[in-house]
Chain A
Amino acid sequence: MNIAENYIGATTPSSPKTAYMLRLADNALILGQRLSEMCGHAPEMELDLALTNISLDLIGQAKLLFEHILTLEDLAPNADVLALTRPQDQYTNLLLVAQPNVDFAHIVLRQYLFSTMQKIQYEALLGSSDKTLAAIAEKSLKEIAYHIRFAKSWVLRLGDGTPESSERMADALDCLWRFTGEMFERDNIIEQAEVSGLSTDFTSSYEDWQMEVKDGLAEAGGLVAPEVGQMIMGGHKGQHDEHLGHILSDMQFMQLRHPGLQW
């Protein structure tokens, strides 16, 4: 803790553009990190390769984004310091991506909910005023299409499989659905990203997304999204639940324990 407090190698973005890209990068990083926990532990050896592949895609996306951010604003000496040293409240990822790998049902549902949103979010970047960002989005969209295919095919199988698998899917849905509203939450950063031409408005697709996903869930043995009194928000503002801190204590371990070294 002391080290973390003493060594903060990265500063907070001052422009809404870099702040927006940092969100995208943090989402990819944290979900990639979560999935990497499964490496060597997935429920099937074939699934071990599949989850690792998705993790590699996401961390790769994050790396490109962090590197690009640094060309726009001098937030840190390098992408690793930016990605791996910030205090918890400066991570602006969605709460959804930090949710734990409770079981394979949680893992594939989290992926399905996130990747279907990420597709829409990245499509809104294809005509971006920032050509590098548009190129990163274009490359990532191919990966995302595969993530959706993988996740959806397992949501279907688990949802419409055995009573046990369907119960596990229902539990996952009950836990994770509450975090989906945040994915389309509008705030000042998004509005400015739109005004500056960085991204078109993807949040207006919220209803389309809901329809698509609810159809997918219905197909999966009739899964129904729970009624949620109020969607849980906070990630964009750096207000996280109890999970992110544990992710960070692993992820930041080397950078904070040995600041400024080459590895």
Chain B
Amino acid sequence: MTKNWHLYEVFIRSKNGLAHKHAGSVHAQDAETAVLSARDLYTRRGEASSLWIMKSADIIASDPGEVGELFDPADDKIYRHPTFYTVPDGVKNM
């Protein structure tokens, strides 16, 4: 069998006001057939108000082997979170 298609990733906005969320992927030869296939595959139950579709090959992913150096350093910076700070009782709207 020939492999003459590309893998596309499909992102769905379920309604305006929400962000697009990854739904899955489709095989297609080009952008138009990718849109048609994504519509038929992922929006049969009124799931979408908008679709984003991109070639999977164009995604730049972080390396799972670098999880430690990329993300662990953020774990102990608790001063970035509002709960780190104490505020006298009775202070409101802060």
A interface residues with partner B (beta carbon < 8 Å): 46, 49-50, 53, 146, 149-150, 153, 157
A180 to B61, CA, bound (A): 52
Dominant SS among interface residues on chain A: helix
Which residues of chain B come closer than 8 Å to A150, judged between CB atoms? Answer: 36
For B41, list chain A residues within 8 Å (CB): 46, 49
Interface centre among B33, B39, B40, B41 (most CB of A within 10 A): B40
The tally of CB-CB contacts under 8 A between chains A and B is 24
B interface residues, how many (CB within 8 angstroms): 12
Q: How far is the CA of A109 from the CA of B40 in the complex (A)?
A: 20
Output the nearest chain A residue to B44 by Cβ-Cβ distance: A53
Residue B14 lies at the interface, judged by CB distance under 8 Å to chain A: no
Contact B37 A153 (CB under 8 A): no
Q: How far is the CB of B31 from chain A (nearest CB, A)?
A: 11
Is B26 located at the chain interface by the 8 A CB criterion? yes
| CB-defined contacts of B26 to chain A, threshold 8 Å | 46
Q: 18 additional contacts, CB 8 Å, given A50-B37, A50-B40, A157-B29?
A: A46-B26, A46-B27, A46-B28, A46-B33, A46-B37, A46-B41, A49-B37, A49-B40, A49-B41, A49-B44, A50-B36, A53-B40, A53-B44, A146-B39, A149-B36, A150-B36, A153-B32, A153-B33
Closest CB in chain B relative to A140 CB, distance in Å:
17
